[in-house]
Structures are given as C-alpha cells and as structure tokens.
C-alpha cells in the first residue's frame, strides 16, 4: 500500500516537474503538431480525407513515444547531472518503485501530444471527431500510456548503469515510429516487421486507440498492452536489481 502511494505521489511530482519545463512541453506539443500537419496534407493529397483522424491519432502517439523515449533516458541523465540520482538510489524503497513514477510521468506528459494533434486537426483540418467506441477510447489511452511508461522503465534500467546510454534514444525514435505503424499501416511494410512490432507497446497502444476511435477490435490490443507492460515490468525488475548493484560497484551513479 505504501509503495502504491509512493508511485502515485511520485507520478504527480514528476508530471509537475516536466510540466514546468517549457522546453519539454514545447517538444511534446510542437513536434507532433508538425508531423500531424505533414500527415494531413499527405493524406489529403492522396485523396483519403476519411483517414485524417487516423493520421491525427498516429501523430499523437508518435509524440507519446518520443516523450517516453527521451523523457525516460533524459530524465535519468538529468537526475544524474543535478546530483539527485544518488539520492533516489540511496532511498529505502526498491529502486523500481522510485523509477516507475518517473517513466510513467514521461508518457503522461507525452499524452499532451495526443490532445494537441487532435485539437490541431479539428480546428485547422476539419478532422471529424466521431469516436466509434468513446468509452473504450477512454480506456485505450491510459492503457497505451501505461504500457509505454513500462517500456520506458525497461529502457531506463540500462541508463542507470551506462552514463551515456540515453544517446541510444536518438537511434530508436524513427524506427519505432515506422515499425509500429504509427505513420502508415504495417501492411505496407515487409512481412518480417510485424513480429518485431508485436514486442513493442506502441504497436498495441496505437491499435487500441485507433480501433476504439475508427472501429475494430479494441480488447485484444488493450490486453496486449497489459501483457507487454507486464513483461517489461518483470524484465525491468530483474535488470534494475542487477544494474543497481553493478552501478554501485562501477561508481556510475554520479558524474564524478
């Protein structure tokens, strides 16, 4: 119970911390809107105006992924820079309970992107906001956000050991956008991409959100969000236990 409270308080603390950073907010709002705008024009030029909501949701999910990717890695590095990483590791609760709120908060802050792209599309491109399953949409968004937060936790677990591992973030942004169908349907990609996408939470997150908005099976992708999230959580728990001890042995928690 104490740990649940700590996670809740931690999420609120971290969301506040990210939200007061104008740069972080700008990244969450501006970048997805730019991508959404490009997608809207592409879809319009292709004579497929009915899929504008499809594009808006995909662009929003791209923002959530970027926020999680850079937030989870960057936030840990930022904690290392400002000397708070050592304080977090040396606190009595298991480190996973301390780190989890941070990565979930990056996904929640990333959800601003979804709001931004949908609002942008509605106001400037007349994107219809008719949702096929509105109640399930309200379930699909937090499921997607949570599973991405747990994926961020798995990535962050390696960032505690390797001081510059967050540089990998730059490599992972675009491939995941493409491989999980955020930009265009996976059916357009070679067959070997699909099995890779099954392992990635953004694939199931965007399926859940799009299917609840545009029609299609919603429960299966939500269940896959839960399953991938649980796998990420289990792996992160093991990695963190091993990596935290290794970081104490190698002295990589601090900059000096």
User: Judged by CB, which is closer to another protein: 187, or 251?
Assistant: 251
Cβ–Cβ under 8 Å, residues 176 and 65: yes
Tokens of 148: 């991405």
Q: How far is 255 from 99, CA to CA, in rounded Å?
A: 19
Tokens of 49: 């105006």
Residue with tokens 């292709």: 46
User: For residue 218, which phi and psi values (nearest 5 degrees)?
Assistant: -105, -40
Find the binder of another protein among 10, 74, 149, 181 (CB under 8 A).
10
Residue 9 is a binding residue for another protein (CB under 8 A): yes
Find the binder of another protein among 26, 30, 38, 90 (CB under 8 A).
90
Q: How far is 81 from 27, CA to CA, in rounded Å?
A: 21
Find the binder of another protein among 87, 138, 171, 242 (CB under 8 A).
87
Residue 16 is a binding residue for another protein (CB under 8 A): yes
Find the binder of another protein among 89, 168, 199, 235 (CB under 8 A).
89
Angle between helix 95-125 and 219-250 (nearest 10): 130
Select the span of 27-35, 59-67, 120-128, 242-250 touching another protein (CB under 8 A). Answer: 242-250
Residue 242 is a binding residue for another protein (CB under 8 A): no
CB of 4 to another protein, least distance (A): 12
Tokens of 169: 């973030």
User: Judged by CB, which is closer to another protein: 92, or 190?
Assistant: 92
User: Judged by CB, which is closer to another protein: 79, or 113?
Assistant: 79
Tokens of 234: 């289990």
Cβ–Cβ under 8 Å, residues 115 and 56: no
Provide the binding-site residues for another protein, judged by CB under 8 A: 2, 5-6, 9-10, 13, 16-17, 20-21, 81-84, 86-93, 98, 245, 248-251, 253-254
């Amino acid at each position: 119970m104490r740990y649940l409270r700590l996670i809740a308080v931690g999420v609120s603390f971290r969301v506040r911390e990210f939200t007061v950073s104008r740069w972080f907010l700008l990244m969450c709002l501006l970048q997805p809107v730019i991508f959404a705008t490009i997608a809207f024009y592409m879809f319009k030029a292709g004579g497929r105006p009915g899929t504008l909501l499809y594009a808006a949701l995909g662009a929003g999910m791209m923002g959530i992924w970027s926020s999680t990717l850079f937030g989870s890695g960057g936030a840990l590095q930022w904690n290392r820079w400002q000397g708070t990483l050592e304080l977090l590791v040396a606190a009595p609760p298991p480190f996973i309970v301390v780190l989890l709120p941070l990565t979930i908060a990056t996904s929640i802050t990333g959800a601003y992107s979804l709001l931004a792209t949908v609002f942008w599309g509605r106001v400037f491109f007349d994107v219809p906001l008719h949702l096929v399953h509105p109640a399930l949409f309200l379930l699909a968004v937090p499921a997607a956000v949570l599973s991405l937060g747990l994926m961020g936790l798995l990535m962050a677990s390696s960032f505690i050991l390797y001081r510059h591992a967050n540089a990998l973030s730059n490599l992972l942004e675009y491939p995941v956008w493409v491989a999980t169908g955020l930009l265009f349907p996976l059916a357009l990609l070679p067959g070997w991409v699909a099995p890779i996408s099954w392992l990635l939470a953004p694939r199931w997150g965007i399926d859940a959100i799009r299917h609840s908005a545009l029609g299609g099976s919603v429960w299966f992708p939500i269940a896959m969000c839960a399953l991938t999230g649980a796998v990420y959580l289990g792996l992160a728990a093991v990695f963190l236990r091993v990596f935290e001890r290794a970081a104490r042995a190698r002295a990589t928690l601090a900059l000096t």
